[in-house]
Amino acid sequence: MIDNAKSEMLILFKASVDVEKPKLVTGIEESSFLEFKKSLHTNGETIDKAYLSSIAGFANNEGGTIIFGIDPDTHELVGIKDKYENLDNRYVSTTIRNGLDGNIDYIFYTNRYVGLLIGFLTISKANSKPVLVKVDSGPVKRGEIYYRYPAQVTKIESADLRKILDEEVQNRVNKFIESMQKIKDIGIDNVAFVNTESGEVDLGSKNNQKLVLHEDTLKKLNLIKHGKLVDRDGAPAYVVKGEIEVEATAKPVLSKEADIYESFFNQTCEHPNLMLQQLTFSSSQYNPLFFLIYKADLTKTTAIELINSIEGADVVIKTKNEVLRRIEHDSKDELYQEGVLITSLQLHIEVGKTLDETIQLAFERHNEIKPSDKIKVIRTLAYNNLINKTNIADELYEDHLKRIIEASSHLSADFIIQNKEYVLEQAKKIYSLISIMKSSEATLIRKVICNIDRILYLDNIEA
C-alpha cells in the first residue's frame, strides 16, 4: 500500500510542475495530505526531530506526504542537498522509533525535476491511534498529540481526539464481532478455546477428555503467558508435541471506505453485514451498496431493518438516510452521466500515437468539431478506448484524469454486464488515485461505481 502511495505521489507531483514559468513551481497546494518543507535537515544518522509533529499529525489523520525542497510561500522548487539523494530510510526509522509512540508505516524517496532534487516522506494512517510524541524537542513536548488539519499541523482538538478514540473502540468492537462471526462460520461444535495462561484447550462440554498443548509448542505459538502447564480435575491430559510452523499474517481492520471498495473490485466479501453497517459511518453517500446487500444475502426489507438498527454518535445521519432512500428507490434507470460525448467521433487513441496527434486527426476528419470542443474530444476518445478495451496511456491519467472518469460514466448497462471483470479493473485503477484527486473527481468516481453497482446487483435483490 505504501508503495502504491509513492507511485501516485510521483505521478501527481510530476503533473503539477509547471516548466513554462521562469521559476520552477508546483501547482499543488498544501492540504490535509500534503506539507511543504524548504529544506531537509539531519543530525548524525537521523532526520531532525523537528519533523516529529508533522509525521505524527499525518499518522493521526489519514496519512500524507511531506515534500522537501519546496518553498511553502511561493511553491517554487528549491531542491535539497545532493547528499540526500536516495537517503537510507534508517535515518527516518531511528527518529520515528525514538520519538513517537505508535506503529507507523512510511517511506522516504527522492526524484529530480530539471536537475533539482526533491525529497518525499510518505506516511500512512497509523494502525492504532493516537500516536504520541515521547521526547522533548523545542516546542514539541513529550506526551503531546498532533493532528494534520488543512495546510497545518497542530495539537489535536478535543473533538478530533474523541473521534480517534471512538474509532479505536469501534475497531475493537469490529474485531470482537469478527471473532464471533468466525465462531459461527466454523460452527460452535468445532471450536476449541485455548487458555493462554495454562495451555489447556477447552474442547467443549460434550468432551470428557482434556487436551494440553506442549510447552515448547506453545512457546512457538506465543500463547503461554507464564510458561506453566497444569493438569486439573483429575482428567486425562494429552500433550501435543512436534514441530509447528506458523506464518503470521496481519488482517487489516475494517476501515471505512477503502476496504469496502477493495471488496467490491475483487468481488469477494467476508463480512458484508459489517461493511453494510460501516456505510452509515461514512461521510460519502456514494458506495457499492447493493453489492453488500447481495453478499449479505439480504432482501431490501431486511437490509432496511439492519440499517435502521444502527445507532450511535458516529453514525452520519445524512448518509444513513441516503442509504435507506437508495435501498427503497434506486433503479437502473437512474444512472449518472457526466459531460457530453461526440457520438460521431469514432476515433480512439491508438498505441504509438499521442493524444495531441489523435485530437488533431479528429479535427481534420470532422469539420463539425470546433476548437472549443477539445474537452469533449478528449472525453470521447477516452470513452472510445474504454469500449474498445484499448489501453489508456499513463500520461492521460496524469493530465486528464477527470475526462477518463467522465467517460466511464457513459458505459452502458449491457457493456458493464458483458465486460464485468474489465469494467471493475478500470474502476479500480481510477479509484486507486483517489487520494490525489480533487474532491469533485473523487465524488464523480464514486458515482460511477454506484452505476456499476446498480447494474450488476440491483436486480438480484428481492424486495
**Is 412 within the bounds of a domain?**
no
Q: Are residues 217 and 79 in the same domain?
A: no
- The beta strand positions in 151-263, using DSSP E, are 152-155, 193-194, 200-202, 210-213, 237-240
Number of H helices, E strands in the chain: 17, 16
Q: Are residues 147 and 203 in the same domain?
A: no
Q: Are residues 127 and 211 in the same domain?
A: no
Q: What angle do CA 454, 458, 463 make, to 5 degrees?
A: 150
Rounded-to-integer distance, Cα 147 and Cα 141, Å = 14
Q: Are residues 24 and 149 in the same domain?
A: yes
**Is 73 within the bounds of a domain?**
yes
Q: What's the chain's average pLDDT?
A: 83
CB neighbours of 193 closer than 8 A, spacing ≥ 6?
A: 201, 202
CATH code where residue 61 lies: 3.30.950.30
**Strand 116-123 to strand 106-113: parallel, antiparallel, or no bridges (unpaired)?**
antiparallel
Give pLDDT, residue 210.
Answer: 55
Q: Are residues 30 and 126 in the same domain?
A: yes
Q: Are residues 226 and 97 in the same domain?
A: no
- pTM here is 0.47
CB environment 194-213: b (16+ within 10 A), e (fewer)? beeebbbbeeeeeeeebbbb
**Is 20 within the bounds of a domain?**
yes
pLDDT digits (tens, 9 = 90+) for 302-332: 999 999 988 877 788 888 999 999 999 888 7
Give pLDDT, residue 45.
Answer: 84
Q: For residue 66, what is the enclosing H or E element? A: strand 64-68
Q: Are residues 27 and 124 in the same domain?
A: yes
Output the CA–CA distances (angstroms, integers) from residue 457 to 415, 426, 462, in the order listed: 15, 18, 11
Rounded-to-integer distance, Cα 204 and Cα 1, Å = 41
Contact of 435 with 33, CB cutoff 8 Å = yes
What is the domain extent for residue 234?
192-240
The number of distinct structural domains making up the chain is: 2
- For the chain, what's the residue count? 463
The three cell numbers of residue 245 are 510452523
- Domain boundary residue among 139, 156, 173? 156
Contact of 313 with 169, CB cutoff 8 Å = no
Per-residue pLDDT of the chain (463 residues; tens, 9 = 90+): 677 888 889 999 999 998 777 889 999 999 999 999 999 999 888 999 999 999 999 999 999 999 999 999 999 999 999 999 989 888 898 899 889 988 888 999 999 998 999 999 999 999 888 999 988 888 888 889 999 998 789 999 999 999 989 888 888 788 788 878 877 777 777 777 766 555 666 666 555 555 666 555 655 554 333 333 344 444 444 444 455 444 434 333 444 677 888 889 999 888 888 888 888 888 888 899 999 999 999 999 999 999 998 887 778 888 899 999 999 988 877 788 899 999 999 988 888 788 888 888 888 889 888 888 999 999 999 999 999 998 888 778 888 889 999 999 999 999 999 999 999 999 999 988 887 788 888 889 999 999 999 999 988 888 8
Rounded-to-integer distance, Cα 246 and Cα 221, Å = 7
Q: Are residues 22 and 146 in the same domain?
A: yes
CB neighbours of 324 closer than 8 A, spacing ≥ 6?
A: 304, 307, 308
Question: What DSSP string runs through 324-390?
Answer: HHHHHH--TT-----S---TT------TT--HHHHHHHHHHH-TT--GGGHHHHHHHHHHHHHHTTP
- Domain boundary residue among 156, 182, 208? 156
Give pLDDT, residue 222.
Answer: 45
